[in-house]
């Protein structure tokens, strides 16, 4: 029973703050609402037997990525925060796409005959522990692990080059 | 394992996929209707989180940690995407003193 309540609260928190992220006018408030979404989703991860992923979610997403957003918003100042209006011309098309997608997803959820889909789950207690994740990463999934490190290196070099160009275009060194 | 693991065995996989669908739809609305590139990136983060929720739901469904590995890789990709995206936003903002994806049309030929 406790799990259902925790799941319900976390799901409501994630969806409610997700609505805030896309509706508030100020980008600053949207970034703060995204933190609430990310922490609610971390609670969902904890309930899905993924404690390690939940901790990484809070540290990397809420701690680093959103902080980077807030830093850039503070750096760009008031003009960037004063967001332009919504895209009025294609609004109908956008809602049509989203409604079709949501309807398709709901049909799949309601008609699937995947085994145990609507039953209570009983995963093994070791699932998602740091030992489990570490073993899986370094024994079975070494190539994706190295590929992500290469991706991070490329992203870091790319960010430095972008920043350097921006400074040079203003006459700096 | 210590107290970190919450003994959750009650929620069915379908409830995780329902939350995932709702978050993904919200993110898609945000991407399709906003014009500020920073708001677009925030909405893309919502969609990536929706994908992670369903990956972890299925990881629990099959009692297999591969889905969790996938979710961690998605987080790394999201971090790289935000770094490059915000770098582009800053450099565009410094050159044209404004942010509106409708006005960025140099590449449209």
- pLDDT tens-digit map of B89-108: 888 887 776 677 777 777 76
Structure token digits, residue B55: 């990956």
CA dihedral angle for residue B56, residue B57, residue B60, residue B61, rounded to 10 degrees: -140
Q: What is the mean pLDDT of residues B37-51?
A: 92
- pLDDT tens-digit map of A95-106: 899 999 999 999
Distance from CA of A173 to the nearest CA of B (A): 15
- pLDDT tens-digit map of A103-141: 999 999 888 888 777 777 777 777 888 898 999 989 999
CA distance A44 to A35: 14
Closest CA to B7 of A49, A115, A52, A157: A49
Residue ranges in chain A whose pLDDT is less than 50? none
pLDDT at A15: 95
pLDDT at A167: 74
Model pTM score? 0.87
Secondary structure of residue A12 in the 3-state scheme = helix
Distance from CA of B47 to the nearest CA of A (A): 10
The interface residues of chain A toward chain B in range 24-63, judged by CB-CB distance below 8 A, are: 27, 30-31, 34, 37-38, 41, 44-53, 55-57, 60-61
Structure token digits, residue A136: 């899986």
φ/ψ of B5, rounded to 5, equals -80, 120
Distance from CA of B27 to the nearest CA of A (A): 7
CA distance A153 to A157: 6
Q: With an 8 Å Cβ cutoff, is A171 touching chain B?
A: no
pLDDT at B3 over 60: no
């Amino acid at each position: 029973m406790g799990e259902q309540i925790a799941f319900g609260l976390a799901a409501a928190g994630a969806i409610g703050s997700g609505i805030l992220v896309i509706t508030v006018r100020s980008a600053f408030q949207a970034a703060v609402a995204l933190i609430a979404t990310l922490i609610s989703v971390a609670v969902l991860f904890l309930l899905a037997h993924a404690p390690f992923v939940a901790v990484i979610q809070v540290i990397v997403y809420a701690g680093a990525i959103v902080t980077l957003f807030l830093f850039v918003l503070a750096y760009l100042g008031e003009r960037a925060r004063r967001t332009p209006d919504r895209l009025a011309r294609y609004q109908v098309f956008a809602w049509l796409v989203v409604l079709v997608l949501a309807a398709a997803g709901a049909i799949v959820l309601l008609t699937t005959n995947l085994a145990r889909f609507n039953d209570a789950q009983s995963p093994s207690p070791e699932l998602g522990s740091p030992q489990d994740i570490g073993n899986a990463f370094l024994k079975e999934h070494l190539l994706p692990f190295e590929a992500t490190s290469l991706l991070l290196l490329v992203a870091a070099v790319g960010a430095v080059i972008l920043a350097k160009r921006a400074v040079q275009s203003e006459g700096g060194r | 394992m210590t107290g970190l693991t919450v003994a959750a065995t009650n929620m069915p996989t379908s409830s995780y996929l329902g939350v995932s669908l709702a978050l993904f739809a919200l993110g898609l609305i945000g991407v399709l209707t906003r014009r500020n590139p920073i708001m677009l990136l925030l909405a893309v983060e919502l969609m990536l989180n929706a994908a992670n929720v369903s990956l972890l739901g299925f990881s629990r469904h099959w009692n297999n940690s591969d889905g969790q590995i996938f979710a961690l890789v998605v987080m790394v990709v999201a971090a790289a995407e935000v770094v490059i995206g915000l770098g582009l936003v800053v450099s565009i903002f410094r050159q044209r003193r404004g942010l509106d994806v409708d006005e960025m049309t140099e590449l449209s030929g």
